[in-house]
Structures are given as C-alpha cells and as structure tokens.
Amino acid sequence: MNKNWAKYFAIPLVGVLLLAGCTNGNNNKAEPTQSGTPSVVPEGKPATWIADRKIKGLIFMGTDDYTEDMNPEIKERIKKETGIDYEIEIMKASRSIDGLIAGIAANDLPDFIAFYLNNSGRKEMPVVLKAAREGMFTDLTPLLKDTKVYSKYLQDDFLPLDTKYGVMFRPEFNGSTYFAHMNINREGGYDSNKYVSGPYIRKDIAEALNIDPSTIKTSEQLYELAKKIKEGKFKDNNGKEVTPIGPGYWGSDGRRDWGFLFTDLMWGAEDQRIKQTKDGKVLHEAETEYAMKKVEYFQKMLKEKLISPELFTMDESRSSEGAINGSWAIIADTHNYQDYNQDLHYLPLGPLNSVDGDYQMQVNFKSGYAAWAIPSTTKNPADVAKFADYLASKEGKLLWKYGLEGRDYTLDKDGNPLVKQEVLDLLASNPNEAKKLGFKGVNNSWGEILGSTDNHNMADFGEMEYGDKLKNDQRGQKAIDFWKWEEKRKNAVIVDGYTPVSFLGEFNKGTELKAALDNYNDSLIRAYYSKSLDEAKKVLESALKQMRAAGLDDYLKLVGDKNADPKTKVLFNPSH
C-alpha cells in the first residue's frame, strides 16, 4: 500500500476517532436528589396538584402489554388534577432488553424509564443494576418517604423478600433504592386471577377414552394416555390425525422445556433448574439423574410419535392454529382465560406431581412485576414520584382502570364503580374502538406503568376484575370449577423468597455462568433429539463441564449460603 493511500485513510480515521470519542463524555454525576418535601398546592388548584410540567416516560416493554396512545379526555383530566402533561413512548425493539441496553447506553433518557422485571433473577436486573451502580438513576428512598401509597414500600412488612432485598433496598445501596418494583399486592397471598395453567386435553378425546383428566398425576401416566390417543386415531377439524401432545398455545416461547408436561421430572423451575436436595445440598439439574430421565422420556415420546417433534421450535401462529383446529389432543400449556376455550372443549389435565411428591399449589406471598426508575438527569424527580403516587392512589387507579365517571362508569352507593353496559358492549363488539376510550378495563394499559401497585381490586372497587358485577359469563370460571381451584387454593402453601438465579448479578463470574446456563438449556433440547442416549449423555456432560468452568459450584454454594439467611431465602420449587 503506498504512502498516499495510507495518508488518505489515516487522516479521516483519526478525525472521526476524535469526533466519536468526544461524544457523550457525559460525566454526569448523580446529582443530589431532591427530597420529597411536601409542595404547597397553589391557590385554586386541587389537592392532587403536583406541578405544571410535562412528564415523559420511555418504556422498554412490549406494545402487547402496554399502550402509549392515551385518550385525550383522560389526558386532560390528569392535567386538570395534577398539572402534569403525561406522555409515554414505547421503545420498539425485537427484544425489550436490547432496547433497554441501547436506551441506557445512549444516555439520553426522559423523566423516567420502565422495564420488565419479574424478580431479581430476570435478565434485565444486571443491566439496570450496572446503571444504578454507575450513578445513572436517582435515589428514590427520600422521594418515597413523603408519598401516600409508595411510602408503604418503606414499611417492614409490605414488600416481598426478593423485591425488598434483591431488587430495591439491596444491602450494597445502604438504604437507597433506584428502582420501584411494581404490581405488589396490598395483602400477601392475594389472588387477582384464578389461573388454571398447564396442559389441557380435548374433552371429546378424554370422554371417548373414558379418562378423568385429573387422574393423570405422573409423566408415565401421561405417556400411557398419549399412547391411547395415538391408537384411537382421533381427527382434528381438518380431518387429519391428531398429534397426541402438541406444543403450548404460545409456540416455542424461547425453547421452553414445557415443564408442566412432566413436573415429576423437573428439577426446579424450568427457567432456573436449581433445587435443594432433601439433605440440603443445592444442585443444578445437570448434576442430578433427572436430566437423563427427561432425555430418556422425551426420546421415547418422539420415537413413538406421541409428542410434536416441533415442540421447541414452532412459532406461535402455527401452534395456536393447531390448538384452535384441535390438532393437538393435549396442548402442552394454556390457561383458562383464553377466548378459544371458554366453552371448555379442552379440559385441564392433572396437575402432575412434582419431584418431591404429590402436587401442592404454591402461592407467592407477593410477587412483583415490571419496574420504573428515574434517570439522574431528570429535573425535579420528586414530581415524577408524586405523579406515580397519584396514579397508584385509589383516585388515580379509578381513572386508569375505569375511565371517566359519567362517561364510562357511575358510582354505586358504596362509592364503587359500576361499569356502563354500553362500554362492555362496545368492548365485545369492537375491541379496537373500545380501547380508544383509554383505560385498563378496555385493554389500554398506560396507567399500569407507574400506577399498578398496592393492588386490591376487591377492597378498592368491590370487584376482582373490571366489570365483574355486570358479567354473566365469568371468564375462565368453567375451568376453575372443573380443576377445583378453590379447594387447591385452600391447601396452598404461601411462599416468599428469591429465585435461585437471583444472585447472578453479584456473582463475579455471573455473565459467564449465565451464558453457560443458557448453553445448558440448548444442550438439553439437543440431547432430546440426539440419536442415542450415549450421545445425549455426552452433550449434557459437555454442557455441565462448561457450567463448572464458569463457576457453577461456587454459585451453588452461594445460593446455599443465601438460603440459610432468612433475609435471602430461596424458592426452589416452581409456582404452579
């Protein structure tokens, strides 16, 4: 290469390096946050008045779950009550975490951000934790002190363990908190929905085979049932022979294991695979006999064509289509609130036992979902906290859950909302038009982002779900009755604690181990499809070797130590 060429290449390169390097030297120190000193309400303004300003949020969650379009009348009411011109934008990304990482790295965040965060073991946690440690977020503790609803977060007994010590008030933060975990119920063990999740069997097939679905308790019984279905040569709506066990209604869903199908072979939750033995040792599934037991079971099912070979790869459209067409005699996973099965032509199957023995319902004391944070660049962060508090109050919830009084509901003698029949009719006949009314009851979910916490619908509104008082056909009720949900709920154990992977963020080889754990998940599925058990064994041994190289043993010891501390108790059994 001649000198001129090198010169022409090097000069612009040096220039752009300088240019790019100089961008975003945003050495913004976390400014001392404003404490939530009570503001004086200006004369002539309502008691809910906060400030005459705009609050904008950037949401790193899917448009299926949340809505950025707000109803103008509701926006106007918010402005009138609080002075806040509220606006949210949902950042579109193929995966919400990609958007979150890019958004934080861009360091150009609005007044608040919100993101998915089921528990401190979720993949978003290390990202937001890194950002918090690096001073990207405002300390919320002083802001929450002077709020009405969120100040409950500072009470000793309000938050579940994982939310309190794993997500919000982590010991390393010395009393500070940088994320507000959401969807915390007011009372422990409160059920806002009566979910009957898991495998469902086509009713006509169960009847033809004279099978009571609730008697299927083990994976071996499920195998026998699948064989009978195969021999019965049942047909789907298109006249084609059914697949005895099909995928879950929502498709492969990131290559899940469909643990509901063989809970008696599942070592821990399917997204964790870590559990304590009876003598107190914490083990990963790969270190137990269950890994190969599952491989053996699956290979048998696949070989005898009792299960869909595409269980781990099928997209949602195809698997839902199969469920609706009756192509799967057993759907691996669905639930009672799905529209297609309100007539219960698919019956709940099981529930199957766990590796520990008979099935017992496990209910979380309280569980959080999603979170918000205020960037350290936000001016007057106290306004954002006050606004979140307004939305979390009964008045705020009434607005984002039920809409506008007079337009969408009236109040009964107890002060509870009575939904207007015409709104319910519109919701049934034209859901998209109804959504424009702009509140949760019509599936417009902008308010949940900041306002959904301290939840207790029955106490606040006199009904569990929006419009229950007017509804004749309660959604999901048939399955609830059939599965004997109430009876199981009575015998349920209420638990509180961390998930086994909650501590990856503080484990020094956490990222490496996470990659190795993910690799195990893939390897397990690969083992299901390997040609022989020996080949499968080699695949799993190799995955275990990688996990050990990434510090699995140390991590399991850490989990054991954490479990021994009452503040960081670990939940080893999945909540079914």
Burial 99-128 (b: 16+ CB within 10 A, else e): bbbebbeeeebbbbbbbbbbbbbbbbbbbb
Residue 20 touches another protein, criterion: CB under 8 A:
yes
Q: Of 5 and 472, which has the nearer Cβ to another protein?
A: 5
- Strands 493-495 and 362-364 come out as parallel
Residue 436 touches another protein, criterion: CB under 8 A:
no
Q: State the binding string over 538-557 for another protein (x if CB under 8 A, else -).
A: --------x--x--------
Residue 23 touches another protein, criterion: CB under 8 A:
yes
Gyration radius (Cα) of the chain, Å? 26
Which uninterrupted H or E stretch holds 230? helix 219-232
Instruction: Choose, by CB under 8 A, the member of 92, 148, 305, 407 that binds another protein.
Output: 305
Residue 429 touches another protein, criterion: CB under 8 A:
no
Contact 359, 352 (CB under 8 A): yes
Which uninterrupted H or E stretch holds 485? helix 485-490
Closest listed residue to residue 548, CA positions, set 235, 203, 298, 286: 286
Round to the nearest angstrom and report the end-to-end CA distance of the chain.
Answer: 66
Separation of alpha carbons 504 and 51, rounded Å: 40
Site for another protein in 182-221 (CB under 8 A): none
Residue 522 touches another protein, criterion: CB under 8 A:
yes
**Could you please report the per-residue DSSP string of 72-127?**
HHHHHHHHHHH-EEEEEEEPP-SSHHHHHHHHHHHT---SEEEE--SSTTSTHHHH
Q: State the binding string over 238-277 for another protein (x if CB under 8 A, else -).
A: -----------------x----------------------
Residue 21 touches another protein, criterion: CB under 8 A:
yes
Instruction: Choose, by CB under 8 A, the member of 525, 536, 556, 571 that binds another protein.
Output: 525
Residue 373 touches another protein, criterion: CB under 8 A:
no
Residue 415 touches another protein, criterion: CB under 8 A:
no
- Those residues with Cβ within 8 angstroms of residue 296's Cβ, 6 or more apart along the chain or in another chain: 533
User: In the block, which residue shows the tokens 């995928």?
Assistant: 247
Give the shortest CB-418-to-another protein separation in angstroms: 47
Q: Of 18 and 428, which has the nearer Cβ to another protein?
A: 18
Give the shortest CB-97-to-another protein separation in angstroms: 6
Q: State the binding string over 30-69 for another protein (x if CB under 8 A, else -).
A: x---------------------------------------
Instruction: Choose, by CB under 8 A, the member of 62, 135, 189, 232 that binds another protein.
Output: 135
Residue 523 touches another protein, criterion: CB under 8 A:
yes
Residue 508 touches another protein, criterion: CB under 8 A:
no
**Piece in contact with another protein (CB under 8 A), picked from 16-24, 273-281, 399-407, 434-442:** 16-24
Give the shortest CB-193-to-another protein separation in angstroms: 31
Q: What is the Cα 455 distance to its own chain's centre? A: 17
- Those residues with Cβ within 8 angstroms of residue 27's Cβ, 6 or more apart along the chain or in another chain: none
Contact 160, 367 (CB under 8 A): yes
Q: Of 12 and 431, which has the nearer Cβ to another protein?
A: 12
Residue 126 touches another protein, criterion: CB under 8 A:
yes
Contact 83, 45 (CB under 8 A): yes
Q: State the binding string over 78-117 for another protein (x if CB under 8 A, else -).
A: -----------------x-xx--x--xx-x----------
**Piece in contact with another protein (CB under 8 A), picked from 46-54, 129-137, 418-426, 567-575:** 129-137
Give the shortest CB-27-to-another protein separation in angstroms: 6
**Piece in contact with another protein (CB under 8 A), picked from 271-279, 313-321, 365-373, 433-441:** 313-321
Distances in whole angstroms, Cα of residue 374 to Cα of each of 117, 141, 541? 15, 12, 45
Q: Residue 345 corresponds to which tokens in the numbers above?
A: 């032509």
Residue 1 touches another protein, criterion: CB under 8 A:
yes
Helix, strand or coil for residue 146?
coil
**Piece in contact with another protein (CB under 8 A), picked from 73-81, 174-182, 466-474, 525-533:** 525-533
Burial 287-312 (b: 16+ CB within 10 A, else e): bbebbebbbebbbebeeeebbbebbb
Residue 237 touches another protein, criterion: CB under 8 A:
no
**Could you please report the per-residue DSSP string of 21-62?**
HHTT------PPPPP-PPPPPPTTS-TT---SEEEEEEEES-
Q: Give me the count of residues in the chain.
A: 576
**Piece in contact with another protein (CB under 8 A), picked from 44-52, 134-142, 171-179, 416-424:** 134-142
Contacting residues toward another protein, per CB under 8 A: 1, 5, 12-13, 15-28, 30, 95, 97-98, 101, 104-105, 107, 123, 126-127, 130-131, 134-136, 255, 305, 309-310, 312-313, 315, 318, 376, 511, 514-515, 518, 522-526, 529, 546, 549
